[in-house]
Amino acid sequence: MEHPANSTVMVLEDEPIIQMSLVSAFEELGLTDVHAFSTSEDALEHLATETPAFALLDHRLARGETSDAVGRRLSEMGVPFAMSSGLGELLDASAALAKAPVLDKPVKAQDLRNHLISIGVL
């Protein structure tokens, strides 16, 4: 499977098992350059030097943290991203996140694949 020149993916997910599952799902799709983070601070630090082709963000993170700042930064950078949520909708999300596609948790590999095809990452 041929991928765009930049096929780097970023995952922001605070639950270790879900994070590992998402990384595996991307790798099974042939996207093996996956950078996973559990805090917005770490993700933002990564975005200071790297530009992924796509990002998948969990909205609600540990200790009351959200991924709003990461979503805003990705929007500023022009990086497509989607939200993963067990809630189906993001009631308290910032404007940048509220407009993002939502992949319901648990994220199904086929839904992820279809979304990545629709935005040209696969």
Mean pLDDT per 10-residue section of the chain, whose length is 122 residues: 67 96 94 96 97 94 90 95 75 67 89 94 89
Neighbouring CB atoms inside 10 A of 122's CB total 20
Q: Write out the residue range of the structural domain in which residue 68 sits.
A: 9-118
Is this structure's pTM higher than 0.95? no
Distance separating alpha carbons of residues 79 and 77, to the nearest angstrom: 5
Burial code of 84-109, b = ≥16 C-beta within 10 A, e = fewer?
bbeeeebeebbebbbebebbebebee
Sign of CA dihedral 70, 73, 75, 80: negative
Structure tokens at 36: 């996973």
Q: What pLDDT is attached to residue 1?
A: 44
Q: Look at residue 41 and tell me if it is in a domain.
A: yes
In a domain, 71, yes or no: yes
Q: What is the CATH number of the domain that holds 55?
A: 3.40.50.2300
